[in-house]
Amino acid sequence: MKRTIFLNLYRNILITLLLPIIFSACSHHEKHYVIGVSQCSEDIWRNKLNDELSIASFSYDNVDIHFASADDNDQRQIEQINKFIDEDVDLLVASPNQMHTISPAIERAYNKGIPVILFDRKTDSHKYTAFIGADNYEIGRVMGEYIGTALKGKGNVVEITGLQTSSPAIDRHRGFCDALKSFPNIRLIDSMHGDWTKESGETAMEKLLKSQQNIDCVFGQNDRMAMGARQAAERHGLKNTILYIGIDGLPTPDGGLHNVAMHELAASYIYPTRGDLVMQLAMNILKKKPFKKENYLKATIVTPDNARAMLMQVDEMNHQRTRLIELHDKVDQYLAQYNHQQIYLLLSVIILLLLAGFFIYVYRTIAMKRRMAEETANAKLQFFTNVSHEFRTPLTLIADPVERLLDDEDINDNQRSLLQVARKNVNVMLRLVSEILDFRKVQNGKMKVNNNTFDLAEHLRQWINGFMPAATTKKISIETDIPQSLKICADLDKTERICYNLLSNALKYTHDGGHIKVSANENDGKVALIVEDNGIGIPKDKVQHIFDRFYQAENNNVGGTGIGLALVKAFAELMGGIVNVKSIEGQGSQFTVLIPIGDIRNFPEEEPSVSSGQKEAFTIAGETMTKEGENSELKRITSPTNEEDKPTVLVVDDNDDVRAYIASLLSQEYEVKSATDGQLGLERAIKEVPDLIICDVMMPVMDGLEMCNRVKHEIATSHIPVILLTARTQEDQRAEGYDYGADAYITKPFSGKVLLSRVKNLLANRRLLHDVFSNGETTDDKPTDTDTLFINEFRKQVQAQMSDSELNVETLSADMGLSRVQLYRKVKALTGSSPVELIRITRLKRAERLLKSGGKTISEVSYDVGFSSPSYFTKCYKEYFGILPGEVK
């Protein structure tokens, strides 16, 4: 039950923030809305709500919000509401100071046709459009049950309520009293009225202590009144003898979350603001979309057991929010300069607001505390995973336009510098997203180890060279103690990630002018990889926690997700190794990773390939390494340019910005149609039969997988190539896409060039097949003709790119408009060899001809046919032909 509540609360914390700014020659005019917000008072909680409303309004260019605060004055709030009515606002959001006195003003707005949203508090009138807020009766009931349990069913309790005629005070009191009925030995000795301020709680307690000091628990209807009562009791010498319970649980320095963490309050109850949901409800009403009249926000109890975990989550969310806002500001600065030159650009910016913390149910036993701690960590990881998936779509709308702008030779140096800063921060976010998703796979047991034999020493030197620009910037020297060669059998990609995280941390935590040393040596069947620095070090009492999930030392002033070293430990253990650390605060740290050398004989050395860390751009302490490999895979295929000859591409995506951006990429060479969900996309595909479909996976009504499956099973559309475009990046999800019949699977964020190349190649392949069928060459009559055409095309692609040592199955599948799985199965069925084997055989046969013709050395031949090193070429040649290259006559 508790696990279900926890996961449901977690799932309901949404990050919606989006607003890429879309450029177009003709902008669409939208109605401008003015929303009036009438707050009953001005305090930290309501300021937080106002801030959330303001940030949520960033998603709507056509919305203005006007705020007013009555400072707990009924007459002032009535005047403010009447002013909003006279100003003819489009919608009113009100939090009534008291139930009865504000009702006439609310009814006047409602009768005039102005939609009214009551937030947090209600009036005694039913004339309102919608209500959104917490269930105050339920909060009072839950706190009453908690107090009864905490006092073990016996004791004297005092309640300090809010304003006597405000709906939260009334509802919380009813729920509290109803809960205490289950505890007959608990006596409510007094229920005193306050006004929500700390001073009113202090005054009420002072008054009570004059006549009664036998008090076991004080229940303040908010944290401030509870803290005021505590101060009054301490002046009377009553310290640590009374339980103090509050409501609100704000994460501010003097808020309830900190009070509970410091054991000043025994418990509090998160009273959610959720300004984003208030704004969403307001826009649904204004845009005539469906909405619920009664909307209750979920919350939970905060105790000393979970308060610190919740504070850590709030800090991490605020850190991520700050980083994205900084990125947004830098891109805005570039846009401002670019607009002054009257050059129209397309640039998408995302503003991310990480709202609220996460809520945990009360711990009752030590066993449950441990269980809840594990669930907290898992839910946090799931939350980060969901956020990471959500990042990929907006990151696409930032990363690719920035890359395209950087290709523009007309921009000046200052503009290029700003764009490079934006690209650098996008790459930081991409690396964090990949790190979180990898850690999730480790947690789920889905991370596989792909062992192969490689020279660790050679790769270490390459990886360290990638960090040299960042080290030079900080004037940090990097010393190496690495043998000339050190071959091991391990997972190359995971070894690189271990090295990357350790070096990245060393650079971050070493002061300017510092020193880093990287060593590698073999000892007793294991390889020791050592990274040491003379940086800030780690406090002695924190070293044992440094590999824990989400852990960050108190002297960490550079931020991070807290999973980098946990990932290092997980990857090392997956490969049968261990990792340990030695550190002295103020003097530096030494990390040692021990990895088994492995059975080199059973894992033959493979051709060096571009690892995941090299395929994607990544940022190291402020220096960005450029993305390589992708452009080399692009094959330019001429497309028709006449308007009537333009192929038709159907783009199906529920994100308006993604559809608009893809249309801007394709519109010069293709006629672009669009649909907002899978059902509409399927109907349009059947009706118009486009030449190609680009489809998102996660959509309402019908998702992309189901749409792809139905397209492939419809007679009229089964021939149409389908490209799935999605933020789902795991291998099993990719495999699922291909199982549903997809011809290509591109993950977000994607490159516009890669997308164009895939579209062109798929269409070119379909035109080739169309030509074959149009000539009457059917599979039934002449199966070998079609098969020969396919194999000839495959060999042509291999021969054309043979000198490229990075040529792989992914490249060939993209060039031939097939998925990797489709290419593998077809080549295997026709030739009996896998594509990798066929590439190697083709290279070796070309090498044989070159060697027999003479005129070139063995090294020149090996590089001409695409081998990365002469030694590896010699080995493969010997295995295939039975003789060495030097013996060829």
Question: What pLDDT was estimated at residue 23?
Answer: 40
Residue 831: band (very low, low, confident or very high) from pLDDT cuts 50, 70, 90: low
Q: State the angle between helix axes of 564-574 and 492-508 in degrees (0 to 180), rounded to the nearest 10.
A: 150
Residue 631: band (very low, low, confident or very high) from pLDDT cuts 50, 70, 90: very low
Percent of the chain with pLDDT over 70: 73
Is residue 186 pLDDT above 80, yes or no?
A: yes
What residues pair up with 454 in beta bridges, in sequence order? 488
Question: What pLDDT was estimated at residue 325?
Answer: 59
Give the number of other CB atoms < 10 A from CB of residue 114: 19
Give the number of other CB atoms < 10 A from CB of residue 871: 12
Question: What pLDDT was estimated at residue 359?
Answer: 65
Burial of 718 (0-12, 13-18, 19+ CB in 10 A): exposed
Phi-psi region of 181 (alpha: psi -120 to 50; beta: other; left: phi over 0): alpha
What residues pair up with 692 in beta bridges, in sequence order? 649
Give which of 129, 94, 131, 132 is closest to 113, Cα–Cα: 129
Three-class SS of 533-574: ECCCCCCHHHHHHCCCCCCCCCCCCCCCCCCHHHHHHHHHHH
Is residue 539 pLDDT above 70, yes or no?
A: yes
Least-confidence region, from 49-58, 191-200, 579-588, 796-805: 796-805
Q: Check residues 889 and 410 and name the one with the higher pLDDT.
A: 410
Residue 328: band (very low, low, confident or very high) from pLDDT cuts 50, 70, 90: low
pTM for the whole structure = 0.36
Question: What pLDDT was estimated at residue 608?
Answer: 40
Is residue 108 pLDDT above 80, yes or no?
A: yes
Question: What pLDDT was estimated at residue 13?
Answer: 42
Q: Check residues 438 and 330 and name the one with the higher pLDDT.
A: 330
Is residue 154 pLDDT above 90, yes or no?
A: yes
Of all helices (H) and strands (E), which one includes residue 859?
helix 858-864
Give which of 431, 444, 522, 534 is closest to 484, Cα–Cα: 522
Question: What pLDDT was estimated at residue 440?
Answer: 62
Q: Check residues 831 and 752 and name the one with the higher pLDDT.
A: 752
Determine the average pLDDT of the residues in 604-628.
38
Question: What pLDDT was estimated at residue 564?
Answer: 75
Decide the pairing of beta strands 648-652 and 671-675. Answer: parallel
Question: What pLDDT was estimated at residue 444?
Answer: 60
Q: Check residues 552 and 781 and name the one with the higher pLDDT.
A: 552
505 token code pair = 């941390």
Residue 556: band (very low, low, confident or very high) from pLDDT cuts 50, 70, 90: low
**Residue at token pair 């090392």:** 572
- Give per-residue pLDDT as tens, 664-722: 888 888 999 999 899 999 998 888 778 899 998 888 888 888 999 888 877 557 767 89
- 589, 508 in Cβ contact below 8 A? no
**Amino acid residing at 617:** A
Is residue 881 pLDDT above 90, yes or no?
A: no
Give the number of other CB atoms < 10 A from CB of residue 308: 14
Is residue 789 pLDDT above 70, yes or no?
A: no
Decide the pairing of beta strands 186-193 and 451-455. Answer: unpaired
- Give per-residue pLDDT as tens, 267-287: 998 888 888 889 899 999 999
On average, the pLDDT of the chain sits at 77
How far, in Å, CA of 394 to CA of 177, rounded?
A: 49
How far, in Å, CA of 864 to CA of 886, rounded?
A: 16
Give which of 143, 140, 220, 146 is closest to 174, Cα–Cα: 140
How far, in Å, CA of 104 to CA of 9, rounded?
A: 37
How far, in Å, CA of 248 to CA of 225, rounded?
A: 11
Q: State the angle between helix axes of 835-853 and 820-831 in degrees (0 to 180), rounded to the nearest 10.
A: 60
How far, in Å, CA of 543 to CA of 692, rounded?
A: 56
* Residue 791: alpha-carbon gap to chain centroid: 42
Least-confidence region, from 424-438, 502-516, 586-600: 424-438
Question: What pLDDT was estimated at residue 347?
Answer: 62
Determine the average pLDDT of the residues in 90-106.
87
Residue 229: band (very low, low, confident or very high) from pLDDT cuts 50, 70, 90: very high
738 token code pair = 């291909």
Decide the pairing of beta strands 91-94 and 33-39. Answer: parallel
What residues pair up with 36 in beta bridges, in sequence order? 66, 92
Is residue 259 pLDDT above 70, yes or no?
A: yes
How far, in Å, CA of 334 to CA of 17, rounded?
A: 21
- Would the CA dihedral through 213, 218, 222, 223 be positive or negative? positive
Question: What pLDDT was estimated at residue 363?
Answer: 66
Is residue 28 pLDDT above 60, yes or no?
A: no
- 610, 459 in Cβ contact below 8 A? no
Burial 201-210 (b: 16+ CB within 10 A, else e): bbbbbbebbe
- Would the CA dihedral through 762, 768, 770, 772 be positive or negative? negative
**Residue at token pair 């890429």:** 20
Is residue 825 pLDDT above 90, yes or no?
A: no
Report the residue count for the chain.
889
- Give per-residue pLDDT as tens, 115-141: 999 988 788 888 899 999 888 899 999
E-only strand ranges, 676-829: 692-696, 722-726, 744-747
Least-confidence region, from 220-229, 709-718, 726-735, 756-765: 726-735
- Would the CA dihedral through 682, 687, 688, 689 be positive or negative? positive
Is residue 537 pLDDT above 70, yes or no?
A: yes
Percent of the chain with pLDDT over 90: 15
How far, in Å, CA of 777 to CA of 788, rounded?
A: 12
What residues pair up with 725 in beta bridges, in sequence order? 696, 746
Kindly give, in sequence order, each residue whose CB lies less than 8 Å from that of residue 647, ignoring residues fewer than 6 positions away: 639, 640, 669, 670, 671, 690, 691, 692, 763
**Amino acid residing at 729:** T
Is residue 420 pLDDT above 80, yes or no?
A: no
Determine the average pLDDT of the residues in 414-419.
70
Residue 640: band (very low, low, confident or very high) from pLDDT cuts 50, 70, 90: very low
Give which of 77, 13, 14 is closest to 41, Cα–Cα: 77
Residue 599: band (very low, low, confident or very high) from pLDDT cuts 50, 70, 90: confident
Residue 561: band (very low, low, confident or very high) from pLDDT cuts 50, 70, 90: low
How far, in Å, CA of 72 to CA of 76, rounded?
A: 8
DSSP per-residue string spanning 45-68 = HHHHHHHHHHHHGGG-TTEEEEEE
Of all helices (H) and strands (E), which one includes residue 227?
helix 223-235
Residue 494: band (very low, low, confident or very high) from pLDDT cuts 50, 70, 90: confident
Q: Check residues 248 and 435 and name the one with the higher pLDDT.
A: 248
Residue 9: band (very low, low, confident or very high) from pLDDT cuts 50, 70, 90: very low
Give which of 383, 371, 226, 252 is closest to 311, Cα–Cα: 252
Question: What pLDDT was estimated at residue 173?
Answer: 93
Residue 779: band (very low, low, confident or very high) from pLDDT cuts 50, 70, 90: very low
